[in-house]
Structure 1
Amino acid sequence: MSNILPILYQDEHLVVINKPISLPVHKSKGMANDAPYVTKWLGQQLECSVYNVHRLDAKTSGILLLALSPEMATQLTEQFARREVDKVYHALVKGIPGEGIFDGKVKKAKRGNKAAAETAYRTLRTVYTKWEHKGEENLPLSLVELKPTTGRWHQLRQHCSHDRHDIIGDAEHGDFPLNRLLAEMIGEKRLYLHACSLSFEHPVTKERMTFEEPTPPTFAALLDLFDGES
């Protein structure tokens, strides 16, 4: 993994990047002193301090917004807290979720209690395998659009797993045998969750800014393996 991160936008106040998979946003307990993370690498790249303002799991790729001052970080964080930021993700999941709202409570990180959470979802594409898996014949796989209105720990992964529409590659909440099978077929082990769109108001210019980043080619490549099989 290169320590040069792809920048989608930068000014004197903030920066937007396309975060690669398997890279934490910031340092956390248990990480080695020389471990890589976004705020470290990007700070070195830009030669300035960088501050995270929202969550994006290490295993999730896609659009990440960061601030270049503590004051800007506070203003951007408040936008997320007020739910004024629009976020869109794409995920590959097991089954056919259809369209609707996931509104079940989700677990908080490393704690047993749960918190209210809401995610809108919409199925974009479905293919059928020739597999029988856990009693289901011709197991379908779907590309799904996810729009969270809250920002809980592993919210999208937990919501998808509630109805067993597990996100492919989810090693904590998902379908582990299916993950292993698909990783062997595609030759890549990853969480198939990507932050593809982010829209927010620039705290200084007051301009509504929207950034989009295409879903990685491996998403389509996995679905194409089965397209037209049945």
Structure 2
Amino acid sequence: MQISNDDILYQDECMIAVNKPVDLPVHKNDFMPADAEYLTKQVGQLINQSVYPVHRLDSKTSGVIVLALSREVANNLAKQFEQRQVKKTYLIVSKGIPGEGVFDKEVLIKKKKKRQKAKTAYKTISSIDTGICYKQDENVSISLVKATPETGRWHQLRQHFAMNRTDILGDTQHGDWTLNKIMTELTGVKRLLLHATSLELVHPESGQKINLEAKMPEAFNIVLNQLSGLEYSLT
């Protein structure tokens, strides 16, 4: 995926926000080839300026991400994220009907090989009924859910929804592999249906609150529309 001007959500003299495409890493790591594409590289080339990441967004997650245009601004913004002053809202397509509430079970931190406390507020926006049946699941419901993590742990949303048996569709690490396969077979969509739809933070210079938004990807609508009422049985 290549970043273009259409992906820029906000830009001024000290920061830029873009709508990150799915499957594009934010920055380079030691496991990537020298010519690999990543977000900071593409945005820097697009605006012909050095950019500095201030928070993380998983490669498989799309949506709003903020980049600083100086080290000073990067430090300011990073502190807001570290001190949980930034409100992050995600859109999710999940299995079942999660309802509304707060997930507060500990999640596994892979690198540290231990569990840590985590909190995720969630609210079901809408649900569809399907005739999808497989294994022990019959007439699986699928929901569009809004989620707001109060902490920022590794794969927190994906782990919390999987623990609740309301797996995020397209999650190949924590989710329901059979349902993922059915989704791709029936709709052609093959991605994690997790999207960072908004960020609320304080502008590092003006001190004013700003809300950055990225609209829901078309893939979400395709899955919800095409699976609604669809009869499918895997035997």
TM-score, with normalisation over the residues of structure 2? 0.94
Contact 1:55–1:151 (Cα < 8 Å) also in 2: no
Which stretch of the first structure deviates more once superposed, 130-139 or 187-196? 130-139
Q: Counterparts of 1:101 and 1:63 in 2: how far apart (Å)? A: 23
1:94-122 Cα distance to aligned partner (Å, 9 max, x none):
11110000111111133320111110000
Instruction: Tell me the equivalent position of 2:63.
Output: 62
Instruction: Tell me the equivalent position of 1:51.
Output: 52
Q: Counterparts of 2:77 and 2:135 in 1: how far apart (Å)? A: 44
Contact 2:2–2:42 (Cα < 8 Å) also in 1: no
Contact 2:131–2:229 (Cα < 8 Å) also in 1: no
Do structure 1's residue 112 and structure 2's residue 113 form an aligned pair? Answer: yes
AA at the equivalent of 2:164: D
Contact 2:189–2:223 (Cα < 8 Å) also in 1: no
Instruction: Tell me the equivalent position of 1:181.
Output: 182
Q: Superposition pairs for residues 2-21 of structure 1, below 5 Å?
A: 2-4=2-4, 6-21=7-22
Shift of 1:169: 0.4
Shift of 1:228: 4.6
1:54-105 Cα distance to aligned partner (Å, 9 max, x none):
1110011111111111111111010011111111000001111100001111
Q: Counterparts of 2:21 and 2:169 in 1: how far apart (Å)? A: 17
Shift of 1:212: 1.5
Q: Counterparts of 1:88 and 1:54 in 2: how far apart (Å)? A: 14
Q: Counterparts of 1:214 and 1:7 in 2: how far apart (Å)? A: 12
TM-score, with normalisation over the residues of structure 1? 0.96
Q: Counterparts of 1:128 and 1:3 in 2: how far apart (Å)? A: 36
Instruction: Tell me the equivalent position of 1:161.
Output: 162
Q: Counterparts of 2:95 and 2:3 in 1: how far apart (Å)? A: 33
Shift of 1:229: 5.2
Contact 1:124–1:142 (Cα < 8 Å) also in 2: yes
AA at the equivalent of 2:131: K
1:203-228 Cα distance to aligned partner (Å, 9 max, x none):
10001000112111221221112335
Which stretch of the first structure deviates more once superposed, 42-51 or 13-22? 42-51
AA at the equivalent of 2:105: G
Q: Superposition pairs for residues 191-210 of structure 1, below 5 Å?
A: 191-210=192-211
Q: Superposition pairs for residues 24-103 of structure 1, below 5 Å?
A: 24-103=25-104
Structure 1: stretches of 5+ with no match in the other structure? none
Structure 1 segments of 4+ aligned residues over 3 angstroms from their partners: none
Shift of 1:3: 4.1
Shift of 1:155: 0.8
Q: Secondary structure at the match of 1:160?
A: helix
Q: Secondary structure at the match of 1:177?
A: helix
Q: Secondary structure at the match of 1:101?
A: strand
Which stretch of the first structure deviates more once superposed, 160-169 or 211-220? 211-220
Q: Counterparts of 1:188 and 1:224 in 2: how far apart (Å)? A: 12
